[in-house]
Amino acid sequence: MAMESTTLDEVKFRTSINIPEKSRDKIISILNRDLAAASDLYSQTKQAHWNVKGENFYQFHELFDKLADEIEEAVDDIAERVTALGGYALGTVRMAAENSYLVEYNCHSGHSIEHVKVLAERYAAFAKRSREMIETTAELGDLSTSDLYTDISRAADKALWFLEAHLQ
């Protein structure tokens, strides 16, 4: 379907969803940016899961795994919404690395609390952006995507609460 000179983010598929094409294009672009960030957040959470050390190792190992599973659901939901709107989900690891707005994971100590601090920063950034996109996508006439962002922000806020509880 894509022409040789077309980039993947310009690939479109036919849909009967009655959101104007110009709005859908903007929403697809927004969603693909957050797909990259959600994939990045998943991998950063797994990074913490694999490398955590110190006090309460097992509890943090399990917590990070649970949080990764939850963010992986968001990855799938975002990608499926992109394709439902007639877009092309940009979901490979390389695409995520190129397009994520999250800061690279750089916790070298391995200590559990250091991982918690780093993840709390990432989840806070992801939750903030998700809340901003609730309004943005609603203004573009897509209440379904706005609702998706409401679900994502609620889950990100809950994950952030679980992380920050260890820092208080």
pTM as predicted: 0.92
**pLDDT reported for residue 96:** 93
For residues 43-75, one letter each, b for 16 or more C-beta atoms within 10 angstroms of the residue's C-beta and e for the rest, the string is bbbbbbbebbeeeeeeebbebbeebbebbbebb
Q: Could you tell me the sign of the dihedral formed by the alpha carbons of 34, 99, 40, 114, in that order?
A: negative
**CATH number of the structural domain 20-167:** 1.20.1260.10
**pLDDT reported for residue 13:** 82
Cα–Cα separations (whole angstroms), residue 99 to 38, 93, 110, 138: 11, 10, 26, 23
| Residue 70 backbone phi and psi in degrees, to 5 | -70, -40
Tokens linked to 86: 């007639």
For residue 14, give every residue at least 6 positions away whose Cβ sits within 8 Å of its Cβ, in sequence order, or none: 86
Round to whole Å and give the CA distance between 82 and 100. 16
CB 126 within 8 A of CB 7: no
- Walk along the chain (168 residues) and give the pLDDT tens digit of each residue: 443 334 666 678 888 889 999 999 999 999 999 999 999 999 999 999 999 999 899 999 999 999 999 999 999 999 999 999 999 999 999 999 999 999 999 877 778 999 999 999 999 999 999 999 999 999 999 999 999 999 999 999 999 999 999 999
Domain coordinates of the chain in residue numbers? 20-167
